[in-house]
Structure 1
């Protein structure tokens, strides 16, 4: 797996995958001279965690024959204050499954399997980072 980033002196980067050609922008906050012209790196990390676990949850629910309309994943991270680097200390996930007659126990099981066993992005985090999850079903 490989990603190439091309940057400019104003802290704007384009991240691109040579495998499939997809690209997205990464930028810095105004506090260090950036123009916020893209996701900040720690936002990309949260999005990656949510995307990885979300894909797992969808896959597990489909294999469990759970019919649903949509999955929304909210990911929020707490960081070390006034430190450099400022890593995450806690990451909270809210998995919100939309659909009629969705079995919440199956959603909770899918979330648990993803977070504890299958998600490579979460497995790549420092084990000291606390992971919290909430599972919701919305009709």
Structure 2
């Protein structure tokens, strides 16, 4: 079982979350909501989790295929439901940018496997009704992702 501890440490809405290994993350709400920009918003954290989950998958897959990854970057944009409470992620777009000696087909397939099979955060967002779109760029060239 995973255990997380959360403590308010800054103003009304500044929290620090800690896992069992002592890793910490700071969370807050927007200044419009009474926060002070002490940390990331919880819904932003979900997109960060998507990036970390998928990134780990993709690097693992490509390393097993003996691909040389010199650089890995992801850009994630999300749009939430308008006028609803709670407001969940409706549309999420991810751009995977990889550099190195990487076969473009292997990169596309690694991203596809992560997004469609292995990444638990992606599946969580899909089950909540979110639409996930993604594209792959290898050495600055867009790869057909066959979605």
Q: TM-score, normalised to structure 2's length? A: 0.88
Deviation at 1:82, TM superposition (A): 2.1
User: 1:79-118 to 2 correspondence within 5 Å?
Assistant: 79-99=80-100, 101-118=101-118
* RMSD (CA atoms): 1.3
> Number of aligned pairs?
137
Where does structure 1 differ by over 3 angstroms across 4 or more consecutive aligned residues? none
Structure with the bigger percentage of strand:
2
Counterparts of 1:18-57 in structure 2 under 5 Å? 18=20, 20-57=21-58
> Residue 73 of structure 1: SS of its match in structure 2?
strand
Where 1:35 maps in the other structure, the secondary structure is coil
Match of 2:143 in 1: none
Supply the distance in 1 between the matched residues of 2:51 and 2:18 (Cα, whole angstroms).
20
Residue ranges of structure 2 left out of the alignment (5+ in a row): 141-147
Q: CA deviation at 1:125?
A: 2.2
In the TM superposition, residue 16 of structure 1 has moved relative to its aligned partner by 0.3
TM-score (structure 1 length as normaliser): 0.93
